[in-house]
Amino acid sequence: MNMNFPLLTTLPLLLLYCLIITTILVEANTNNVHIVYMGEKQHQDPDLITDSHHHLLAKIVGSKERASELMVYSYRHGFSGFAAKLTQSQAQHIAVPSRWKGVCQSGQSFDPKKHCNRKIIGARWFVNGFLAEYNKPLNASGEIEYLSARDANGHGTHTASTAAGSFVGNASYKGLANGTARGAASNARVAVYKVCWNFLGGQCSSADILKAFDEAIHDGVDVLSLSIGFKIPMFSDVDERDGIATGSFHAMARGITVVCGAGNDGPSAQTVQNTAPWILTVAASSIDRAFVNSITLGNNKTLMGEGIYKGREIGLTGLLYPEANGLDPTASGVCQALQLNQTKVAGQVVLCFTSMTRRVAIVSAAATVKAGGGVGLIVAKHPSSALYPCPGDFPCIEVDYDVGTKILFYIRSNRNPLVKLSPSKTVVGRPLSAEVAHFSSRGPNSIEPAILKPDIAAPGVNILAATSPHDQFADGEYVMHSGTSMSTPHISGIVALLKALHPTWSPAAIKSALITTARRTSPSGSPIIAEGSPQKLADPFDYGGGIVNPNAAAEPGLVYDMGMADYIHYLCAMHYNNTAISRLIGNVTTCPVQKLSVLDVNLPSIIIPNIRRGSITVTRTVTNVGTQNSTYRPTIEPPSGVAVSVRPGVLIFNSTVKKISFKVTFNTTLQMNTQYLFGSLTWSDRVHFVRIPLAVRTEMFQPYGDGYYN
């Protein structure tokens, strides 16, 4: 979800192609020439258009070489499309999926004949639950909104294009981050199910969410992407008031992977949302790209800040920090409560400090400085890589407290302090590395800490994608937003690609592949940092298995799969009553009399929230999805002070042995440790490295709960 606004749409993706195919020549052999008409060009670079045609054809015929042999023409100037020699089955494979039952629903400013095409193949909107609950007209807040699937705010457009947008050359935001924009699964088709409304900051009704799930399941989607969440405290997994948990269970039961945002309430612990084990929950990471500004002081020392400012350079001009008198000399320099003398501010750059993480402090300070005739603002704050421009493209540059203090000391030691501010420049690659974003919600899971959440991290900081013209930050058709709303569609697109490669994999298998192959280090080998106060090494409660590694996830070797029996085990271990479980499952279900442990749910992680002095053993089962005859051996990185052993010590797979169960035993002599200790267990055949995170917390005294971890 966006840091400033909740998500406006759920977004299911279709993996199959929906193009207009025309046979124009019937030959004696099995190949006919077919025209694949793709309509208006989606970008202006002819070479990129042709590349996309070859890429699409190669997915159908098996290789780029074969695609080149079969390609007759690439239409790339007046419109987009190609002619190729295809069999009838290949033509059918590239055209309208036969199982697709969706529709494009008309509504305000949305005409299905104009707005649905070969990319957007379905559009529905659901507002009755919202109207019934709030009993007010939709436009009561004064915000722009449409009674249709049309996106007013831009959030749904941004996430949709991130997940499945086609190639668009020469895209940028205010001249920054220039390049070719594309979605994670650029050839996927999109169906939009709008359930959130531009009212009082964004509102979604569970009744509408459940109806959207119901229709999306019927329509035949393959992936559901929801950058929507509910605040802490959450409803239980079997409470229908949590429309996401309930709806996603039924989607999962039909093989549909549901991907959701972790939330934007970080870096505080226990803030992660969408925690049901059948949901794939996504944290947000930064990428190896920054937008830097040079801050040159009058003493010729240059410091670096970050910002979104592409206006003119601010030449050497006065630099001011608003000192105060009295008991609190820093009171006037607090960004959200700046106290300025207008005669002193005019024509100067102002420095202020804030401990607030939200943008309200920066926006407030910029407005105050601008109103006083100031020409720029330097904000010293907690490090956070998520950036937005100030209104009116006013020069706002962010620095950390260290740099801010250096600037302040310079001001205090000079009678006539001066500064020069440069416009932002895009920097890519080393020495930049991915970090878990400051805002990204963190574990442990507040419903059940033994279920690791978030599951995975993906890029969610300063993500450039398409938007609505009504987006307050829009630059033409594009914008950069930050939030777990932005990381979620990255994973959704990757899931779509994995689903295309492995159509028989279950949602749990896909989730396992992502978690067990994720990266814990940057490409340079440096560890991943979690932004916060203070910054720290990232752990599984920050990023789950790590930052997504799509290529490795395509061939994970082993997966920790789950079926309905595993989810029933979880529900019973959570002590939900039989009636609620039966209603969710759809069959009469009675939990066994013997106590089940949530620790034995077959997840690609082992989290033990409360182990007393002694030992505990848990069970996991892996399925071989790699080479038929393979042998895996374990490598253990135990949590500090905890001994970890695995039985058996080797897993041997062959044509008849595809699943193997193993036991993991944890032993500790620690008396009490209120903090989690982390480690990992990796199975490897020297080609694949199937890693799951481990976390253990030991306590002598447990004042709450029933102690069923012991």
Both tokens of 594, joined, read 């013997």
Quote the DSSP letter at residue 573.
H
- Residue that terminates a domain, selected from 94, 124, 140: 94
Same domain, 380 and 504: no
Query: What mean pLDDT is predicted for residues 492-516?
Result: 96
Both tokens of 375, joined, read 């020409």
Both tokens of 124, joined, read 């529905």
Same domain, 336 and 470: no
On the question of pLDDT at 28 being above 70, the answer is: no
CATH assignment of the domain containing 606: 2.60.40.2310
In sequence order, what E strands does 532-598 have?
Answer: 536-537, 558-559
Among candidate residues 223, 148, 239, the one with its CA nearest the CA of residue 191? 223
With respect to residue 174, please indicate whether it lies within any of the assigned structural domains: yes
pLDDT given for residue 340 in this prediction: 86
Q: Is the dihedral of CA 373, 374, 380, 381 positive or negative?
A: positive
CATH assignment of the domain containing 365: 3.50.30.30
Beta-ladder partners of 343: none
Same domain, 90 and 130: no
With respect to residue 543, please indicate whether it lies within any of the assigned structural domains: yes
d(CA 33, CA 17): 18
d(CA 336, CA 130): 34
With respect to residue 185, please indicate whether it lies within any of the assigned structural domains: yes
Poorest-confidence range of 162-166, 324-328, 514-518?
Answer: 324-328
With respect to residue 2, please indicate whether it lies within any of the assigned structural domains: no
Same domain, 70 and 120: no
Quote the DSSP letter at residue 139.
G
pLDDT given for residue 30 in this prediction: 57
Q: Mean pLDDT score of the chain, rounded to an integer?
A: 89
Q: Which residue has the higher pLDDT, 140 or 125?
A: 125
Q: Could you read off the pLDDT of 38-67 as tens digits, one per residue?
A: 665 655 678 878 887 888 888 788 888 888
pLDDT given for residue 657 in this prediction: 96
Residues 6+ apart with CB under 8 A from 10: 192, 193, 194, 195, 209, 212, 216, 224, 225, 226, 228
Q: Could you read off the pLDDT of 179-203 as tens digits, one per residue?
A: 999 999 998 999 999 999 988 778 8
- Residue that terminates a domain, selected from 396, 428, 460: 428
On the question of pLDDT at 692 being above 90, the answer is: yes
Quote the DSSP letter at residue 444.
S
Query: Could you count the other beta carbons within 10 Å of the beta carbon of residue 110?
Result: 21
Same domain, 532 and 400: no
Query: Could you count the other beta carbons within 10 Å of the beta carbon of residue 592?
Result: 9
On the question of pLDDT at 699 being above 50, the answer is: yes
Three-state DSSP state, 175: coil
Poorest-confidence range of 160-169, 427-436, 627-636?
Answer: 427-436
With respect to residue 1, please indicate whether it lies within any of the assigned structural domains: no
CATH assignment of the domain containing 179: 3.40.50.200
CATH assignment of the domain containing 73: 3.30.70.80
pTM listed for this prediction: 0.87
Q: Could you read off the pLDDT of 64-80 as tens digits, one per residue?
A: 888 888 989 989 888 88
Q: Could you read off the pLDDT of 226-277 as tens digits, one per residue?
A: 999 888 899 999 999 999 999 999 999 999 999 999 999 999 999 999 999 9
Same domain, 539 and 440: yes
Both tokens of 349, joined, read 């750059």
With respect to residue 565, please indicate whether it lies within any of the assigned structural domains: no
Query: What mean pLDDT is predicted for residues 416-441?
Result: 91
Query: What mean pLDDT is predicted for residues 25-46?
Result: 63
Through-space distance between the first and last CA atoms of the chain, rounded to whole angstroms = 37
Beta-ladder partners of 33: 25, 85
Same domain, 528 and 518: yes
- Residue that terminates a domain, selected from 556, 589, 624: 556
Same domain, 383 and 422: yes
Domain count, the chain: 4
pLDDT given for residue 1 in this prediction: 36
Poorest-confidence range of 1-5, 326-330, 602-606?
Answer: 1-5
The answer to whether residues 634 and 681 touch, using CB atoms and an 8 Å cutoff, is: yes
With respect to residue 595, please indicate whether it lies within any of the assigned structural domains: no
Among candidate residues 108, 57, 109, the one with its CA nearest the CA of residue 85? 57
Same domain, 293 and 416: yes
Q: How far is CA 323 from CA 195, 332, 340, 352, 506, in A?
A: 49, 6, 9, 10, 61
Burial class of residue 433 (count of CB atoms within 10 Å of its CB; 0-12, 13-18, 19+): buried
Same domain, 269 and 140: yes
With respect to residue 102, please indicate whether it lies within any of the assigned structural domains: no
Same domain, 457 and 527: yes
Element (H, E) at 196: strand 196-197
Within a 13 Å sphere around the CA of 529, how many CA atoms are in the beta-carbon half? 16
List the domain range (segments joined by +) for residue 683. 602-698
Same domain, 539 and 463: yes
Q: Is the dihedral of CA 665, 670, 676, 678 positive or negative?
A: negative
Order of strands, sheet of 673-684, starting from the edge strand that comes earlier in the sequence: 606-611, 689-698, 673-684, 630-637, 651-653
